[in-house]
Chains A and B, each alone.
Chain A
Amino acid sequence: MKTPQTLLRKRPALRVLFLSLATLVLVLVSALVWTGWRQGGGDEIVKTTLPDLSSPALLERGAYVARAGNCMGCHSDKGGAPFAGGRAIQTPFGAVFASNLTPDPTHGLGGWSASDFWRAMHHGRSKDGRMLYPVFPYPNYTQVSRDDSDALFAFLQSLPPASQANRKHELRWPFSTQPALAVWRALYFSPTPFVPEPAQSADWNRGAYLVQGLGHCAACHASRNALGGSSPLDLAGGLIPMQNWYAPSLNSPAEAGVSRWPQDHVVALLKTGTSPSGSVQGPMAEVVVHSTQHLLDSDLRAMAVFLQALPERASDIERAPVTRTQLSKSGGQLYDKHCAQCHGESGQGVPNAYPALAGNRAVNLASTVNLVQVVLHGGYPPATAGNPRPYGMPPYVMDLNDKETASVLSYIRGSWGNQAAEVTAVDVNQARQRSGR
């Protein structure tokens, strides 16, 4: 039998080829590490005039920036002190634990300066120069202005210090190493300030800054490759790693694109979690609760202007018409028994309470993970000032098995004008396995 070793021994030409290839790969990786390592080393970090961190106006602005950036969404653990970190963010490479942002001198940002903080936000490096994991969305935050960064820092420094130690990340090798991060940064990151587009309106530019920079919408609404790389400007939808929710495309009118919505509906969705054109659930409900409901109407309108101007791009649904087998009778019976009471006999829903399923974009998405999540685990839209007492959907995880869940969802996706592909019991089972129920 010819093992690779014997082959190489017997064929000198192969051996030379192998060695040259190996050298080439080594040189390339080293070049990437070198590039990534140098990047954002930061000569331009030190600012000559530092802001007065105790100015009330600056603190107020910083609190607002924290809302718009949804910092506490990750940097506060359930029931823990606000901004004290500790929450695990699961990634395909292992768990990353959010850090303590309070001014505690040992565990938090107590010893940091506004310039150190700017280095983290803009260059993705810690105070000591260590490269940070892009779970902290610095590919987006790099667009945040120095003034907003300083305001945010002032606000964080004004919080009560929490002496909560940071947890060590639990990442697999080689992702746990700085050279791996250097490669990642060379491929997918360069510190880039936000540059306004002079041809566009002030609202559009403000919206672009909020959506692409501070709001880091692309952290969820973009697809990622095997290395976790994505473009911070891509909003074409993607499966959120490990959470088992699909963040729909903001470009596609068939998914979550809003180019054809009235502008007021876009603003209402972000402010209240619901609108006549649709409502939010799952991870986006959290975003509305912690972030967008607190933003100024003028900023929400700016975001709407930018989102509505995104180029329309067809999604998988529009590209591939589906062929369906006949609707199962059992799916219809399950629908009548469990769903019709609220969603109506013809999927018409109840205005301001239960969404219509007929013609519902979320129902017709190519990805079925969100539907399975909602049926198995139920859910409420966010309770906000504009929609303080939402109606809820019960969890059906104890009532319906995989086959029944698939059957009723297939019925819904093929009735009342809906024309989406069937859901299989395997789809449901995978979703159930991943969520551990």
Chain B
Amino acid sequence: MRLLVWLPAALLCLSTAVSAQTATAVPTPKPFEDSIAQRSLACTHCHGAQGRAAPDGYYPRLAGKPAGYLYNQLLNFRDGRRHYGLMTQLLEPLSDGYLLEIAQHFAALDLPYPAALPAAGSRELVERGRVLVMQGDASRQLPACVQCHGQRMTGVLPNVPGLLGLPRDYLNAQMGAWRAGKRRAHAPDCMAQVALRMSPDDIQAVSVWLASQPVPSDSKPAERLAAVAGLPVCGTAAITASATSATSAKTGVAR
């Protein structure tokens, strides 16, 4: 399983090694500051400066994702619903309140996205991906991605992530993990149900098409979903009063 996850990342590393070398010229060290950015250097080390995503195509972007989504993922890693040893070990001693603050920090960053790469697949595959994303496949009870992730695919507040600006390998790995039960969300876990109805070819098609789409200039998540009947209710972590009160107390100290 680990190999399945790493292999695409490793291959992509090879292909992007040349550009990565120029991109990672040693930055001048910033002086120490008492800030949440400084406190979360452990995150940006892998996820790229300010959480813009790393050049290796495996560590996803954090900047600008909905805070609720990021918070849920932090809890999922810490509490064993998602599996990645490095993340789990880092988050193990951290509290709900602090994780919420870290999530809100990255969610509030508004940074430009890099240009999308050309689609790496046959015309049929790419077209199939577009159709699945935009229309789904009613005959197999596959909803369109845009039904939940927003018509502009930039996500929906507070908990639904955007689908653009993510590397193909990352998208493949996540949908594969969902199918294999290695990635889970709070019950009811809608995405697990959707992923189980997708074939490996569907996943490939969707990932290839999504990864080739440019991110719109307004990349912010939608405020709310257009009302569509019959959408599933998806599970999420409750943001507890103790977590929020702890956060406001803490940010009060920092600012």
Which residues of A come within 8 Å of B, CB atoms?
A: 77-80, 273, 285-286, 288-289, 337, 340-342, 350, 353, 377-384, 388-395, 397-398, 435-437
Complex contacts, B85 vs chain A, CB 8 Å:
377, 435-437
Contact A79 B79 (CB under 8 A): yes
List residues of B (27-82) whose CB comes within 8 Å of A's CBs: 29-30, 32, 34, 36, 38-46, 78-81
* Complex Cα–Cα for A78 and B184 (A): 13
Contact A341 B90 (CB under 8 A): no
- A-B interface contact total, Cβ < 8 Å: 95
Contact B93 A395 (CB under 8 A): no
> Smallest distance from the beta carbon of A54 to chain B beta carbons, Å?
27
Contact A378 B90 (CB under 8 A): yes
- Top 7 closest A-B pairs, CB basis? A78-B80, A394-B45, A392-B42, A79-B79, A382-B93, A341-B29, A79-B80
Q: Is B92 an interface residue (CB 8 A)?
A: yes
Contact B98 A383 (CB under 8 A): yes
Q: Is B86 an interface residue (CB 8 A)?
A: yes
* Complex Cα–Cα for A342 and B44 (A): 14
- The residue in B38, B93, B94, B254 that gathers the most chain A C-beta atoms within 10 A of its C-beta is B93
Q: Which of A285, A384, A397 contacts B86 (CB 8 A)?
A: A397
Interface size on B, residues (CB 8 A): 36
Q: Which of A79, A273, A381, A389 contacts B250 (CB 8 A)?
A: A389
Q: Which of B29, B34, B38, B93 contacts A383 (CB 8 A)?
A: B93
Complex contacts, B246 vs chain A, CB 8 Å:
388
Could you write out 21 A-B pairs with CB less than 8 Å apart?
A78-B78, A79-B80, A286-B93, A289-B92, A377-B86, A378-B42, A378-B86, A379-B93, A381-B93, A388-B98, A388-B246, A389-B36, A389-B254, A390-B94, A390-B98, A391-B39, A392-B90, A393-B42, A394-B42, A395-B45, A435-B85
Complex contacts, A353 vs chain B, CB 8 Å:
32, 34, 38
Complex contacts, B94 vs chain A, CB 8 Å:
380, 382-383, 390
Q: Is B231 an interface residue (CB 8 A)?
A: no
* Complex Cα–Cα for A353 and B97 (A): 19
Contact A395 B79 (CB under 8 A): no
* Complex Cα–Cα for A383 and B89 (A): 14
Contact B29 A340 (CB under 8 A): yes
Which residues of B come within 8 Å of A, CB atoms?
A: 26, 29-30, 32, 34, 36, 38-46, 78-81, 85-86, 88-95, 97-98, 101, 246, 249-250, 254
Complex contacts, B46 vs chain A, CB 8 Å:
394-395, 398
Given A380-B93, A383-B93, A383-B98, is A395 in contact with B41 using a C-beta cutoff of 8 Å? no
Q: Which of A286, A342, A395 contacts B32 (CB 8 A)?
A: A342
Give the nearest-CB partner of B88 in chain A. A78
Q: Which of B32, B41, B95, B249 contacts A392 (CB 8 A)?
A: B41
* Complex Cα–Cα for A437 and B2 (A): 10
* Complex Cα–Cα for A95 and B29 (A): 45
Given A388-B98, A389-B98, A437-B85, is A380 in contact with B254 using a C-beta cutoff of 8 Å? no
- The residue in B29, B34, B44, B45 that gathers the most chain A C-beta atoms within 10 A of its C-beta is B45
Contact B39 A389 (CB under 8 A): yes
> Smallest distance from the beta carbon of B208 to chain A beta carbons, Å?
26
* Complex Cα–Cα for A392 and B89 (A): 12
Give the nearest-CB partner of A341 in chain B. B29
Complex contacts, B34 vs chain A, CB 8 Å:
353
Contact A77 B39 (CB under 8 A): no
> Smallest distance from the beta carbon of A120 to chain B beta carbons, Å?
27
Complex contacts, A393 vs chain B, CB 8 Å:
42
Contact B30 A341 (CB under 8 A): yes
Q: Which of B38, B44, B79, B90 contacts A391 (CB 8 A)?
A: B38
* Complex Cα–Cα for A406 and B40 (A): 26
Contact B79 A78 (CB under 8 A): yes
* Complex Cα–Cα for A350 and B39 (A): 12
A interface SS class: loop
Complex contacts, B101 vs chain A, CB 8 Å:
389
Give the nearest-CB partner of A376 in chain B. B86
Contact A350 B32 (CB under 8 A): yes
* Complex Cα–Cα for A380 and B30 (A): 21
* Complex Cα–Cα for A99 and B87 (A): 27
Complex contacts, B86 vs chain A, CB 8 Å:
377-378, 395, 397, 437
Q: Which of B39, B43, B88 contacts A390 (CB 8 A)?
A: B39
> Smallest distance from the beta carbon of A129 to chain B beta carbons, Å?
34
* Complex Cα–Cα for A289 and B40 (A): 19
> Smallest distance from the beta carbon of A280 to chain B beta carbons, Å?
9
* Complex Cα–Cα for A129 and B58 (A): 53
Contact A379 B90 (CB under 8 A): yes
Give the nearest-CB partner of A80 in chain B. B80
Contact A383 B95 (CB under 8 A): yes
Give the nearest-CB partner of B32 in chain A. A350
* Complex Cα–Cα for A435 and B2 (A): 13
Complex contacts, B26 vs chain A, CB 8 Å:
337
Contact B92 A285 (CB under 8 A): yes
Give the nearest-CB partner of B58 in chain A. A398
Complex contacts, B42 vs chain A, CB 8 Å:
378-380, 392-395
Give the nearest-CB partner of A77 in chain B. B80
Give the nearest-CB partner of A436 in chain B. B85
* Complex Cα–Cα for A80 and B79 (A): 8
> Smallest distance from the beta carbon of B156 to chain A beta carbons, Å?
25
Contact B45 A289 (CB under 8 A): no
* Complex Cα–Cα for A341 and B88 (A): 25
Complex contacts, A79 vs chain B, CB 8 Å:
79-81
* Complex Cα–Cα for A342 and B39 (A): 11
A sample of 18 more A-B contacts (CB under 8 A), given A390-B39, A398-B46, is A77-B80, A79-B80, A79-B81, A286-B92, A289-B93, A337-B26, A342-B41, A378-B42, A379-B89, A383-B95, A384-B95, A388-B98, A388-B249, A389-B39, A389-B98, A394-B46, A397-B86, A436-B85
